[in-house]
Amino acid sequence: MARARKPGDDALPPTRGPTDTPLYALLTARRFRLGASTERVARNLALHGGAVAGDAAAWIGAARPPEDAPSVGLGSFAGTLGPRSFGFVNVHGQVAAFDAPLPSLPRAGGLGLVVPARDALPDVAPLALARGLGLSWIVSVGDGDPAETLAFLTADLMTSALGVVLGPGATGASLRSVLGAKPTVVWGGDALARAVARRAGAVVVDGGLGSFLAHVQLYDAGVEPGAAVEVIVVGGGRAYVDDEVRAAALEARVVAVDERAPEELDAAIAVAAAAQKPVVLVAGTMPSELARAVQSGGAQLLSADLRHPEHLRALLVALAAPVAESESGRTRPRIDKELAARVRYESDGVLSDHDAKRILKAYGARVTRQAPTNTPTGAVKLAKQIGVPCLVAIPGDERVADSMADVKRIAALMLGEAPSIMVRERFPEVPRVRIKVAPEKGLGATMRVGSACALVPLTRADGLALAAATPARRAADQRAVAELLGKISACAADEDVTFDLELFVGAEPCVLAAAGEIRRR
């Protein structure tokens, strides 16, 4: 199952991590057992198993392996790598226990790919070969939890970056302890798992497989998103590539060279290398062939096949992503500590709409202008300050007043049913969104906006990701919503409050309705 042993193999173990786990034994074994469906694995071993492939093949059988034996969970058998795993490829060690198409071993490099079962994505090895990726490992965890595999690759000396496709076995709590040590791209998973990955500094991709592979390419080449690059078009298509660069809002010079004049390509790459700029090489041929042609150029190389324009587009968009801002420079909102302390002192734990808004206002969050009164005359005075149309409300009943006469009439009617009323600023019915801040077991407080989720307190990236999940459509409105969410998050974290809020997310976002619970200290 492995390449022929060489002198010094024992002196350089593949990882510095824990060596007493079944997973470590499986991924580093010269011999191991497999579950069912091993015909393709046997072929892969024959092609890529090295000098000892014949001996290793003798260990393959259709019988279920003993529970204490290192194993791949092919088929429904759970195994060490989880149910429906299709095996793994150790590229540097030339081990291919892989029950999936593997036309040839990928180029050896520093990128580790962790993927779920085969029905979750197209066959991963052909994709890696088509993009010319330099890999250290491909590991399928099937429907299992990828955390242990990620810990293994984090400790692996040959792996410098990770590309992770999350399946049903991934959980936020288990990912929290294994992400963040190496650059990582994450695709898939539930909202909580993505929130944990984002907090760990991973690039969380929502744009599909093309976007995932484009970011993986950047890590493979050692290029940061937002880096200044040089785009070299080999042959025809410069005008088309120029348009795509502008459409992606990427600031990059585009030059064209004749495919029949290799010296032009060498010269263009040398210029980019001298300027310390990565090169995006675009041509109508396979990226792997282009990579081999310019290995001596000295520049970081990203290649795109012009026959697949969607690949080029995804790569340019990934390159144009802004450089992540440092969270150390994040400013906290100005806090009215006296107001916050007063609300906490006056509250019995459960926050009414009015008290929830008061404590949010203490953190600078914009809330509806409102005030209580117990007379129709007082309602009219408040309406003059707030403006009409406004809302006149009692618990369970809220009515729109379009004029001062309406305010007085509605107030008189409602005061016959309740001892006091609330006069409140009115906002349009759309766009609105519901926000919940609540604890999540093992992770602390989280903020949910529809299907999106983030850990509290929010980072800038968290705030923008949640704002993008709201109905706010203009970029300026999303930035304003992200700022408002940041203030809500700071209040929830500092005061230990859970919230259930309704927000207006158009121009000048605002908290419209609020409920919460404050924990006693």
Task: Locate 410 and state its tokens.
Answer: 């509605």
Count of H-run helices and E-run strands, the chain: 18, 23
pLDDT of 199-235, one tens digit each?
Answer: 898 999 988 899 999 999 999 988 888 788 899 998 8
What is this structure's pTM? 0.81
For residue 355, the model assigns a pLDDT of 94
For residue 14, the model assigns a pLDDT of 44
For residue 130, the model assigns a pLDDT of 84
For residue 101, the model assigns a pLDDT of 86
Query: What's the half-sphere exposure (Cβ side, CA atoms, 13 Å) at 391?
Result: 19
- The sign of the torsion formed by the CA atoms of 135, 139, 140, 145 equals negative
Q: Residue 488: exposed, middle, or buried by beta-carbon count in 10 A (0-12, 13-18, 19+)?
A: buried
Q: Residue 49: exposed, middle, or buried by beta-carbon count in 10 A (0-12, 13-18, 19+)?
A: buried
Contacts 24+ apart (CB under 8 A), 180-186: 181/154, 182/153, 182/154, 183/219, 185/161, 185/212, 185/215, 185/216, 185/219
For residue 329, the model assigns a pLDDT of 46
Task: Locate 209 and state its tokens.
Answer: 């497989």
- What type of residue sits at position 410? I
Q: Residue 476: exposed, middle, or buried by beta-carbon count in 10 A (0-12, 13-18, 19+)?
A: exposed
DSSP state for residue 63 in the 8-state scheme: S
Q: Which residue has the tokens 């609105």?
A: 432
For residue 235, the model assigns a pLDDT of 87
Task: State phi, psi for 249 to the nearest 5 degrees.
Answer: 60, 40
pLDDT of 424-478, one tens digit each?
Answer: 999 988 899 999 999 998 899 999 998 899 999 998 889 998 999 999 989 899 9
Q: Which residue has the tokens 């890696």?
A: 128
- The sign of the torsion formed by the CA atoms of 197, 202, 207, 212 equals negative
* pLDDT means over runs of 10, the chain (521 residues): 37 51 76 56 64 48 50 66 86 84 89 93 90 92 92 92 95 91 93 92 89 93 85 90 91 88 85 88 66 58 86 91 56 88 90 95 96 95 94 92 95 94 92 95 92 91 91 92 96 95 94 91 59
Residue 254 CA: distances (Å) to CA of 211, 231, 266, 311: 22, 5, 15, 17
